[in-house]
Amino acid sequence: MKKYENISLLPYNTFGIDVKARLFIEYYSLDELRQVLKEHKGEQILHIGQGSNLLFTRDFNGIILHSGMARARFIDDETVEAQNGLRLDDLIAQLTDMAYCGMEKLSLIPGEVGASAVQNVGAYGVEAKDVIERVYTMDVETQEERVFTNEECKFGYRDSIFKHELKGKYIVTSVVYKVKPGEASKTREEIIQTRMAKLPTVGEVGSAGSFFMNPFVPEEKAKELLELYPDMPNFPSPQGVKIPAAWLIEQCGWKGKTLGGAQVWPKQPLVIVNANNATPDDIIALAAQVSASVKEKFGIDIHPEVNYI
Ligand SMILES: Cc1cc2nc3c(=O)[nH]c(=O)nc-3n(C[C@H](O)[C@H](O)[C@H](O)COP(=O)(O)OP(=O)(O)OC[C@H]3O[C@@H](n4cnc5c(N)ncnc54)[C@H](O)[C@@H]3O)c2cc1C
């Protein structure tokens, strides 16, 4: 186990925000995790992965936990169990090299296995929920281990039970994904190229990926808007009509606009980047202005996908 006091979180968040944590603990086994949770019972704890969906708004006066467990193993020919601290893309790269497919459309999504189940990450029509069979967790309060079936995770669009009724109550310790033998290297390569052309590269430009979630509106509302904006992209679904937030933001003229050090990414307006030593307040203010203008022009509320801490 490694412990650091009063440590900068700069290397632990992809937005590149330089705030401090009172205590940072990295554990390397379930026993160590159990021990940490017992020792620090009742204290404020935040378990992070790669910090690629976080916006630290100030110094964190609690304990940041991170997993150093990063192994994966085949359970059988159709299921692989990966530990929470493994980078999701490293897992997909290994599976692709071994000629297993099923997860390749999630290639290059930043972040670790644990968060993939919390966030139900998704891209190019595939979501983690389509490939997750079950999720192993530890109860923060009792340190008991509990397995959640796919159904029990209550997955939704960038959503799971771990973001709502069980928020902060369970630590995802490993995830079992369904895979199957098959060639995926061409698809993986195409996805990597497409993403690199459009999205900021982690480590080069600070961001947390898509800042906002795509809104769903009632059919009536979509019809009204389509009369005014016949070119508006729209995707009917059981949840309502999905309108791409990137299109709404672009229509409001935000592409490439800056506020302080924060910028709406010119190649993909759904992304807010740390263009020039942005402070958390720059990012928060820019995001607030973007969502206010979408509300004013279209009457639609857009909500952050990024977790404000
Ligand atoms: C350039 C870029 C592109 C992106 N593209 C996509 C995309 O295409 N699709 C997509 O869905 N997302 C995308 N994202 C967002 C991000 O990659 C995902 O949300 C990812 O799942 C975050 O993983 P992480 O390990 O960094 O989690 P963190 O950001 O560290 O944490 C996210 C949340 O999960 C919780 N958490 C983390 N680990 C655990 C654990 N083991 N147990 C319990 N809770 C935990 C944290 O407390 C926090 O609430 C992108 C981000 C960037 C920077």
Residues 9 and 96 in one domain: no
pLDDT at position 133: 98
Residue 30 lies in a domain: yes
- 168 vs 231: CA distance, rounded Å: 42
68 SS3 class = coil
At what angle are helices 88-97 and 185-198 packed, to 10 degrees?
A: 150
Task: Please indicate, yes or no, if residue 266 is contained in any of the structural domains.
Answer: yes
67, 86, 112: which is the final residue of a domain?
A: 67
**Catalytic status, residue 210:** yes
Residues near ligand 1 with C-beta < 6 Å? 14, 46-54, 84, 109-112, 114-116, 118-119, 121-123, 158, 162, 171-172, 199-200, 202, 207-209, 307
Contact 72, 81 (CB under 8 A): yes
What is the CA(231)–ligand 1 centre distance, in A? 32
Give the residue among 237, 267, 258, 272 at the shortest CA–CA distance from 55.
Answer: 272
pLDDT of residue 224: 96
Do 140 and 205 belong together in one domain?
A: no
| Distance in Å, CA 119 to ligand 1 centroid | 6
- Least Cα distance to 63 among 13, 32, 23, 20 occurs for 23
Quick one: 82 and 54 in the same domain? no
Residue 92 phi, psi dihedral angles, 5° rounding:
-65, -40
CA distance linking residue 92 with residue 197, whole number of Å: 20
Q: Identify the H or E element spanning 118.
A: helix 113-119
Residue 274: what pLDDT? 97
Ligand 1: atom nearest CA of 171 is 42
**Are the C-beta atoms of residues 91 and 111 closer than 8 Å to each other?**
no
Per-residue pLDDT, 289: 98
Residue 166 in any domain: the answer is: yes
CA distances (Å), 132 to each of 7, 45, 84, 94, 135, in order? 34, 26, 13, 17, 8
CB 284 within 8 A of CB 32: no
Single out the residue in 40, 67, 94 at which a domain terminates.
67
Identity at 77, one-letter amino acid code: D
One-letter amino acid for residue 48 of the chain: I
CB-neighbour burial class of residue 196 (10 A; exposed 0-12, middle 13-18, buried 19+): exposed
Which residue from 30, 54, 33, 272 is spatially nearest to 21, judged by alpha carbons? 54
CATH code of the domain in which 238 resides:
3.90.78.10
The mean pLDDT values, 10 residues at a time, for the chain of 309 residues are: 96 96 98 97 96 96 97 96 98 97 97 98 96 98 98 95 96 98 96 95 94 96 96 94 97 97 96 96 97 97 95
Residue 195 in any domain: the answer is: no
Q: What is the pLDDT of residues 155-188, one digit of tens each?
A: 998 999 999 999 999 999 999 999 999 999 999 9
Residues 156 and 136 occupy one common structural domain: yes
Q: Do 293 and 227 belong to one domain?
A: yes
Given the residues 52, 67, 104, 158, select the one marked as catalytic.
158
Q: Cβ distance 198 to 103 under 8 Å?
A: no
Q: Are 217 and 240 in contact (CB under 8 A)?
A: yes
**Same domain? 210 vs 293:** yes
Is the domain of 174 the same as that of 276? no
Question: Of 157, 187, 217, which closes a domain?
Answer: 187
CA distances (Å), origin 18, targets 49, 57, 181, 238, 279:
17, 10, 43, 41, 9
Residue 31's CATH number: 3.30.43.10
Looking at the structure, tell me whether residues 170 and 214 fall in a common domain: no
Rg (CA), the chain: 20
CA distance linking residue 85 with residue 211, whole number of Å: 23
Instruction: Tell me which residue range forms the domain holding 115.
Output: 72-187
Same domain, 259 and 300: yes
Count of domains in the chain? 3
